[in-house]
Structure 1
Amino acid sequence: MSPVILFILGVVFVAVGIAVSIALHEVGHLVPAKLFKVRVTKYMIGFGPTLWSTKKGETEYGFKALPLGGYVSMIGMYPPNKDDGSVRPSSTGMFQTLASEARSMAHEDVGPGDENRVFYRLPVWKKIIVMLGGPAMNLLIGLVLTAVLLMGFGISEPTTTIADVSKCQVKAGETVDPDSADCKPTPAAAAQLKPNDVITSFDGKPVTSWDQLTGWIRASAGKEVSITVERNGSPVTSTVTPVLSARPVVGADGRQAKDDAGKLLYQDVGFLGIGAQTALVPQPASSVLPMAGENIKQVAGVVLNLPARVAGVAKAAFSEEPRDPNGPISVVGVGRVAGEVAAMEEVPVQARLAALVGLLAGLNFALAVFNLIPLLPLDGGHVAGALYEAVRRRVAKLLGKPDPGAFDIAKLLPVTYVVAALLMGMGALLIYADIVKPVNLFG
């Protein structure tokens, strides 16, 4: 299959995965709303003109033209005007008009018998459950996909089989022509080790893992030791003397560590000149939650520093600076990464599928965390409004004052529009950056 077709298939795979994730996110709102008897009038995937819809019971289900999200419409999202109980505009002030118009739209479908089926009449805890249903669904999807990734596919780990043998000893940051007189053979090349050799012992000790072997090699600089490999089913033993060489210091995240000044760190250790073949190794169920937690932690770090991260993207997009590979990307960037992964023909199909599943898991964790930001129109903003309502009612009760009733979150719509505009601007910037200065994950 051609790389172009593979690229397209990767993009389609992730696009469908995102669409399903959005649809299930909205199901997370839909199900508890219906369980709590709130009348749900619409369940839509996308925005803009309706492409297709069907009505089942009292709810219209359908797809919109712009696949940029989804929504669930519930009647009575905002309470009536506190002064006169009206849902119609009662003021000519701009902010008051915005709130009144939204209030009016929220009550358009309220009919006889619906008085106790409006959203704003729900107890606070039920409001919170409805609003957290979407992010909770994304967390669940991310958790399931992480389990599939770890337990089904496995994690790529180095094996004790040699993948390649370096011909020349090369200092960090330098290159040497392997056919020139400057090429000093590596200990592995001098010992005539070959790709596909399986290392079975080192210095008389059985080798059970690549990490174990690496530690022994690093500690054996200048020492002549025996090494045994299995080659074509037969053992072959030779001697090697690891040389002292500057090698990268690898951090806990698997990347080369840097000092406080941002300079890459190296250390002098024993070096043999071999690379390991990798294989997908299934992991136990106990590894799923820690992996998911680490993924969520990384996403939360990006979200907490989102303004600075977006500013960095803007700077890179309009300058010669490279993009931060750990920074935010748009759906365009995600699609490009998925396509590149799918088109890597030198990587086994199973490993590519695992990478795509991992990408979808990360996206769902990102959707969950992002939607928990306590700003409207995000789910976290509605949760914050419900919590404020609970606190206000509790304080009124403690002070012996009348129940202030449901909090009119419609009054915050001006803030909502500002946040929505900022989110659209951020999305446009990320799409532009992903076109003119895409993130380079594969060198």
Structure 2
Amino acid sequence: MTILMTVLGIVVFVVGLLVSIAWHELGHLSTAKMFGIRVPQYMVGFGPTIWSRKKGDTEYGIKAVPLGGYIRMIGMFPPGEDGRITARSTSPWRGMIEDARSAAFEELQPGDETRLFYTRKPWKRVIVMFAGPFMNLILAVAIFFGVMMTFGVNTQTTQVGKVSDCVISQKEQRDTCKASDPVAPAKQAGLKAGDKIVAFNGEKVGDWSALQKHIRDTIGPATITVQRDGKPLDLHASLIKNDVAKIDGSGNYTSGTTSAGFLGFSPATGIVQQSFGESVDRMGDMMRSGVKSLVAIPSKVPDLWNAAFNGEERKADSPMGVVGAARVGGEVFTLDIPPENQIAMMLFLVAGFNLSLFLFNMLPLLPLDGGHIAGALWESLRRTVARVFKRPDPGPFDVAKLMPVAYVVAGIFICFTLLVLVADVVNPVKIS
């Protein structure tokens, strides 16, 4: 049964992956057609074609390897300086440029002269290239908001999960009490597991972050109002200063310690529906976290290498590829949790994948969408400057000249992808 559920989880994730890729390419396709650019192909996947059908002047199809997708647009790059595709050179760099230029015109048909990508105004090209990642962002936001506002998210609450027996400094990093350790203020006050804290010093608290701030800002006597057995009860505690874990502006724990008020209990966690405002805040945190993770990828390479080839522990924040994410999807369906929790976790996994696709594709590097956007913006800037200073129009920016750089970037991406793949197979990230 466990194997069956694992396979089911992997299949569900792969379907979500294919939908996400198709959705991304649909953004490119719809805007390209809207601006009159001819699109010969719309494909989900790479490799041999499994199924295809031609409608109008576009072939729609599914390929064997579900690791991406693409659309082909006519005239992605402008012709050479002489108005034609320059003859192939013996220079490898020039060869790369002209190979890319040839591919952009290889399916040129009579009448396509007015349907070329590069002939569209820069702002239209920006829209076409941005539309793909933007579709992923829309899907990620829709799923995140849908799950958070209808089902909820697992979060710390104001209910007491466990009361500490003694006061231990965070710097000591131990769990057992010594005879010399003072009794925790929460235990002295009579706080019990299961109590729900509803007010602190007469001020109502509705969530853990507000209660946490009250506790950390207080040293000395405090009145804690709890709900116990359905009845309100006032408890009196004397909070002390202690070394506790640092938190960021969102209440998330970070490295290091700080001196603050200490009560001495652990909050219980539970599924809590989020309001629209709370969902917006959480979405903002996810975006910031995603950007930080993207910037931190180069620093993760040594850990990935050690996890893949030296048997070291795979860190929880280690980058995952499609294979690793599929394995996590398989694990989700084997967890001993209610089915609705499994569905929510799977939806979050797919949403996180779409958010990563958006952020990754917005990098201003060819062959990513962000590289084409950067090229169009640079062209617009050049033409604007020329117009302001009454200089000749410099013409379209020849993105094809950047193809050698694109091949280097693509090579780096491929090497990193293979490293992640090996790590995902031999030392995968697992749900704790």
Whether TM-score is above 0.5 comes out as yes
Residue 411 (structure 1) aligns with: 401
Residue 22 (structure 1) aligns with: 21
Give 3-state SS (helix, strand or coil) of 2:268's partner: strand
Superposed CA deviations along residues 328-351 of structure 1, whole A, max 9, x for unmatched, are 221222223333344331x44434
TM-aligned CA distance change 1:187 to 1:64, over 3 Å: same
Give 3-state SS (helix, strand or coil) of 1:293's partner: helix
Structure 1 contact 11–339 (Cα < 8 Å) conserved: yes
- 1:290 equivalent to 2:290? Answer no
Superposed CA deviations along residues 56-104 of structure 1, whole A, max 9, x for unmatched, are 1110000111111110001122222322x33363433333333223322
Structure 2 distance, partners of 1:387, 1:64, is 33
Q: For structure 1, which runs of at least 5 residues remain unmatched after alignment?
A: 259-263
Residue 367 (structure 1) aligns with: 357
Structure 1 contact 89–101 (Cα < 8 Å) conserved: no
Q: By how many angstroms is 1:275 displaced?
A: 4.5
TM-aligned CA distance change 1:214 to 1:110, over 3 Å: closer
Q: By how many angstroms is 1:267 displaced?
A: 5.1
TM-aligned CA distance change 1:164 to 1:421, over 3 Å: same
Structure 1 distance, partners of 2:128, 2:413, is 23
TM-aligned CA distance change 1:416 to 1:240, over 3 Å: same
Q: By how many angstroms is 1:50 displaced?
A: 0.6
Q: 1:251 aligns with which of 232, 247, 253?
A: 247
- 1:353 equivalent to 2:343? Answer yes
Structure 2 contact 366–405 (Cα < 8 Å) conserved: yes
Residue 295 (structure 2) aligns with: 304
Residue 141 (structure 2) aligns with: 143
Matches within 5 A, 1:11-410: 11-83=10-82, 85-87=83-85, 89-163=87-161, 169=166, 171=168, 173-175=173-175, 196=194, 229-231=227-229, 235=231, 248-252=244-248, 254-258=251-255, 264-265=256-257, 270-271=262-263, 273=265, 275-284=267-276, 286-319=277-310, 322-345=313-336, 347-398=337-388, 400-410=390-400
Give 3-state SS (helix, strand or coil) of 2:114's partner: coil
Structure 1 distance, partners of 2:266, 2:131, is 50
TM-aligned CA distance change 1:188 to 1:428, over 3 Å: same
Give 3-state SS (helix, strand or coil) of 2:381's partner: helix
TM-aligned CA distance change 1:31 to 1:402, over 3 Å: same
Superposed CA deviations along residues 178-229 of structure 1, whole A, max 9, x for unmatched, are xxx9999988889997765556788999876556666777789997989765
TM-aligned CA distance change 1:202 to 1:348, over 3 Å: farther
Q: CA RMSD in A?
A: 3.8
Structure 2 distance, partners of 1:349, 1:76, is 49
Give 3-state SS (helix, strand or coil) of 2:40's partner: strand
Q: In structure 2, what residue type is equivalent to 1:44?
A: M
Structure 2 distance, partners of 1:436, 1:55, is 42
TM-aligned CA distance change 1:308 to 1:225, over 3 Å: closer
Matches within 5 A, 1:421-440: 421-439=411-429
Once the two structures are aligned, what percentage of the paired residues are identical? 39
Structure 2 distance, partners of 1:50, 1:60, is 11
Q: In structure 1, what residue type is equivalent to 2:247?
A: G
Q: For structure 2, which runs of at least 5 residues remain unmatched after alignment?
A: none
Q: In structure 1, what residue type is equivalent to 2:245?
A: V
Structure 1 contact 397–403 (Cα < 8 Å) conserved: yes
Structure 2 contact 332–342 (Cα < 8 Å) conserved: yes
Superposed CA deviations along residues 312-360 of structure 1, whole A, max 9, x for unmatched, are 4334444465444334221222223333344331x44434433333332
TM-aligned CA distance change 1:193 to 1:46, over 3 Å: same
Structure 2 contact 195–226 (Cα < 8 Å) conserved: no
Superposed CA deviations along residues 389-408 of structure 1, whole A, max 9, x for unmatched, are 22333444455554333222
Structure 1 distance, partners of 2:365, 2:201, is 61
TM-aligned CA distance change 1:157 to 1:68, over 3 Å: closer
Q: In structure 2, what residue type is equivalent to 1:280?
A: V
Structure 1 contact 165–188 (Cα < 8 Å) conserved: yes
TM-score (normalizing by structure 1) = 0.81
Superposed CA deviations along residues 87-130 of structure 1, whole A, max 9, x for unmatched, are 36343333333322332222222111111011121111111111
